[in-house]
Amino acid sequence: MFKLATTLLLTGLACAACVSTTNNNSSTYLKDAFAPHFMMGTAFNEQQISGQATEDVQLALSHFNAVTPENIMKWEVIHPSPNEYNFAASDQLVALANEHNFFLIGHTLTWHSQTPDWVFKTPEGNLKDREALLALLKEHIYTVAGRYRGKIQAWDVVNEALNEDGTLRNSLWLQIIGPDYIEKAFQFAHEAAPNAKLYYNDYNLFKPEKRAGVIDMVKRLQAKNIPIDGVGLQGHYALDYPDLSLLEDSIVAYGDLGVEVMITELDVSVLPFPEEEEMGADVSINLALQSKFNPYANGLPSSINSQLSDRYEELFKLFLKHQDKISRVTFWGVNDRQTWRNDWPMQGRSDYPLLFDRNNQPKDAAQSIIRLTQ
Residues 137/188, Cβ–Cβ less than 8 Å:
yes
Q: State the pLDDT at residue 287.
A: 66
Q: State the pLDDT at residue 345.
A: 76
Q: pLDDT class for 280, splitting at 50, 70, 90?
A: low
Percent of the chain with pLDDT over 70: 89
Which is it for strands 19-20 and 27-28: parallel, antiparallel or unpaired?
A: antiparallel
Alpha helices in the chain (DSSP H): 2-12, 30-33, 46-50, 54-63, 75-78, 88-99, 130-147, 172-177, 181-192, 208-223, 244-255, 302-321, 364-371
Q: Which helix (H) or strand (E) segment is 201 a member of? A: strand 197-203
Q: Is the pLDDT of residue 15 over 70?
A: no
Q: What is the mean pLDDT of the chain?
A: 92
Q: State the pLDDT at residue 24.
A: 41
Q: What are the catalytic residues?
A: 160, 265
Q: State the pLDDT at residue 21.
A: 56
pLDDT, tens digit (0-9, with 9 covering 90-100), for 46-91: 999 999 999 999 999 999 999 999 999 999 999 999 999 999 999 9
Mean pLDDT along residues 300-309: 97
Domains of the chain, CATH where assigned = 2-8+34-371 (3.20.20.80)
Q: Is the pLDDT of residue 172 over 70?
A: yes
Mean pLDDT along residues 257-268: 98
Cα angle 189, 194, 197 (rounded to 5 degrees) comes to 75
Q: pLDDT class for 316, splitting at 50, 70, 90?
A: very high
Mean pLDDT along residues 358-371: 97
Q: pLDDT class for 281, splitting at 50, 70, 90?
A: low
Q: SS3 breakdown of the chain: % helix, strand, coil, rounded to 5?
A: 40, 20, 40
Which SS3 state, helix, strand or coil, does residue 287 take? strand
Q: pLDDT class for 284, splitting at 50, 70, 90?
A: low
Q: Is the pLDDT of residue 268 over 50?
A: yes
Q: Is the pLDDT of residue 317 over 50?
A: yes
Which SS3 state, helix, strand or coil, does residue 321 take? helix
Q: Is the pLDDT of residue 7 over 60?
A: no
Which SS3 state, helix, strand or coil, does residue 16 take? coil
Q: Is the pLDDT of residue 25 over 60?
A: no
pLDDT, tens digit (0-9, with 9 covering 90-100), for 181-213: 999 999 999 999 999 999 999 999 999 999 999
Residues 208/165, Cβ–Cβ less than 8 Å:
no
